[in-house]
Amino acid sequence: MKRFSLLARFLTFRKELATLWQAFVSSETPVHLKALMLLVPAYLLSPIDLIPDVIPLLGWVDDFIVVPLLVSLIVRMLPQKAPVYRDAAGNKVIDGTYRRR
C-alpha cells in the first residue's frame, strides 16, 4: 500500500498548477477546458462553499481538498501530443496506441 505524503502531494500540485497555466495560455487547448480552469479561482473566491468559511478551520479544509482535486481532474483531461518516432528510413511515425495513464 502506498503511503500518503503531504509533501509529495504538494509538489505534485505545484507541477499541476504550472501545467494548467501553460495549457491556459496555449492556443491549442480547447475552450471548454479553459472554461473549466477558470472554475478553480472562481470556487476559491465564491462565497458559496461546501462548508462555509465562517466555520473556523472546517471552512478552509474543503478548499484544501476540493481545489487540488479540481486541478488534478482538469490536468488529466488535457490533451497530450502523441509521441513521434522515426522509422529506419527516417520517416515520421506517430504512435497511435499512446494513452495517458
Question: Which tens digits make up the pLDDT trace of 34-48?
Answer: 999 998 888 888 777
- Structural domain tally of the chain? 1
81 in a domain, yes or no? yes
99 in a domain, yes or no? no
- Round to whole Å and give the CA distance between 37 and 67: 11
100 in a domain, yes or no? no
By residue range, what is the domain housing residue 66? 6-94
52 in a domain, yes or no? yes
38 in a domain, yes or no? yes
49 in a domain, yes or no? yes
pLDDT of residue 92: 73
**Reported pTM:** 0.69
More confident residue, 31 or 97: 31
- 7-26 pLDDT, tens per residue? 888 888 899 999 999 989 98
33 in a domain, yes or no? yes
101 in a domain, yes or no? no
